[in-house]
Structure 1
C-alpha cells in the first residue's frame, strides 16, 4: 500500500486524535491505564511512518485540558507513563531524525513531566526531519483564548490597532505559530467529532475517521490508507472544481 502513495502530494501537517484506549482495555477486561500503556506502540508506528514518508509535521492530541477532569488515579498513571515513554523513546526519535515539540498549557504538568519534555526537546532540537508535536494540556478553545489575550495586550500597548487584526495576526498568536494548518486529521475509535482540538487550524483539514480500530491497534498500514484517501480527495478551499484545473 505504501508504494501507491504520491510523495509529491503529501499532507504537510497530520494531526491525530488517539481515541479508544479505554474501550480497548475494557474489551480485554483490563483497567483503562492498560490501554494507555499499549498505545505506545501506535505512537511509535505513526511517528516512524510519517518520518519515512517525509511528512513535515505530526501533532498528537496527547492530553486535553478536559482530561484533567478524569479520575486522579488515571491522571497520575498517565503522567508517569508520559515521563517513562519520553525518556525511552529518545533513541527512536534520534534514529528517525525527529524533532520533538509541544503545544498547550504545559506549566500545569507535573515537574517531572516538564523536565523530561525539556530534556527531550533539547536533545532533538537539531534534528531536521519530522516535527513531532505533543498537544499536552491543550484544547482548541484554550488556544484561541490565549491568542486573544496576546492580541489584546498588543492593542493595549499601542503596538497594534483593531483594524490591523487579520488571519495572519491570529496565526502568529496561536500555539502553532510558524506551523502550517492541518491538512489531514485522523481519528481512531469511531467518534465523529473533533473534541475541541485545534479549532482554528482544522478549518480546511480533511477528516479521516477509523470506525473499527482503537488507538492501541493503529499501525503503519492505517496511516498509509489515510494518506491515500487524502490524496484521492479534491481540496477546493471554497472554490469550484473547474477553478482548480491548471
Structure 2
C-alpha cells in the first residue's frame, strides 16, 4: 500500500492569525510567532556556572539535567592471550557475571533543559517546576532535575520572585535545550520538541508552531526556542487571565534513540 502524500502548505493564502488546534490545515501564518536558534556547541554550557546572560536573578540561571537511559554497546569478550593479569581477570569475571545474569550494561545520556520566565521589568529566571524557581547551593550545585519539566504541564505565567515590586507576573518566554554530542560505544540520542500552549482556560484553543511531527534537534548544540509574547486566534487576543490557568502542556520534550 502506498503511504499517504505529505501535506503541502499553500503559497498563496496565509492565516492572519496564529496556528492553533482549530485552524484550517495547510495554511501557514502570515507572520512567524516562534523562533529557534542555536547559540553554540554544547560544551559552551557549564553546569557549574549556568548561562552567562544578563537579567537573571542570582542563582536562577541554571539549566536542569535530564538523564536519558540508553543501552551501551556490549563489551567484547577478551581473547585467551588478553586474559592474563589481574586487570584482565577482573574484566573477565565482570563479563561472565553480566552474561550469566543476562543484563546488558546501561548508561545514560545527559540533556539540559530550561524554561525561562521574564517579567515586564526584565527580571529573568528558570523554574524547576510549577511556580518553583531554581535555587542553587553556595557552591553552585543544582539539586533539582528536569523530571517535572518533562512530565508536567508548566504554567505560562508565574509570579516574579524579585523582591520589588511584589505582585508582578512573569511570562514563559524562552525554552533552552542543550543536546549532547554523540558518545562512542553508546547509541546516538536525538531530542524532539513539540510545544502546545493553552494561553487561557477552555474553550481557548491550543497554540502550536504547526509542525506535522515533533521537531528533532541536531546533536551538540545549545538551542533556544522563543515563544510568542501574545496569542491570537481568528476571534480574539488572549491576555493573561486573572486565574492564571494557562500552560505549556506536557509532551513538549521527547527523544529518539538511533
> Whose radius of gyration is greater, 1 or 2?
2
TM-score, length basis structure 2: 0.26
Higher relative contact order (CA 8 A, sep 6+): 1
Higher helix share: 1
TM-score (norm 1): 0.27
Relative to its length, the structure with more strand (as a share) is: 2
